[in-house]
Amino acid sequence: MSFSPPIRPVQAVQAFYYKRFDFESRSRRSEFWWVQLIYLFFGLIAALIDIEILGYAEDQIATPVFLLLEIALLIPMTALTARRLHDVGLTGWAQLPTFFFYIEYIPGYEGFVFGGLGEGGGLEKGGAELGFAFLMCLYLFWLIFYLIKNGESGSNRFGANPKEPSLSETFD
């Protein structure tokens, strides 16, 4: 079986845009990681705008431009991650624990996920906070392993392998 080469950044963004609400099919590693890199770039620009132009503190979490970017891309990025997990044979629901990190955006919340890791935060006390943080780290390592892993060859329960050309492409 022949495989197509990895897609380029422009192709990845196009696929991301056209499949922004697709929680059913599969996505290649190259599509996922190019979009993640571009998302990181725009996140840094949003943070720079918030800090340098709007004057927010560097350690403030819910700044307006960054929060707007997060809200605008929440569903498309969730769909992309679900499609990537489908490519390795997992359900998209496997990413559900990552949404615990969005607790930080609740106004008035001073938890331990990001802001409370030091300076009198919850982890110095140990207990449930430390256990939860440890479990989240284990989960994130597990998730990243599957996001890096090569997809299943051939079709799986989520559809055809996006690396393999369809019959119509083969005979053109």
Domain segments of the chain as ranges:
9-167
Give 124-159 pLDDT, tens digit per residue: 555 666 777 788 889 999 999 999 999 998 889 999
**Please, is 132 exposed, middle or buried when counting C-beta atoms within 10 Å of its C-beta (0-12, 13-18, 19+)?**
middle
User: Which of 8, 65, 1, 71 lies closest to 38, judged by CA?
Assistant: 8
Confidence category of residue 112, pLDDT binned at 50, 70, 90: low
**Number of other residues whose CB lies within 10 A of the CB of residue 134:** 11
Give 66-76 pLDDT, tens digit per residue: 989 999 999 99
Residue type, 86: H
Residues 6+ positions from 146 with CB-CB distance below 8 Å: 85, 88, 90, 94
pTM value surpassing 0.95:
no
d(CA 5, CA 32): 15
Rg for the chain, CA atoms, rounded: 19
Phi, psi (rounded to 5 degrees) for 121 = -75, 180
d(CA 76, CA 90): 18
Most confident region among 49-58, 59-68, 73-82 by mean pLDDT: 73-82
**For position 73, what pLDDT does the model report?**
95
Are 39 and 82 within 8 A, CB to CB? no
**For position 78, what pLDDT does the model report?**
95
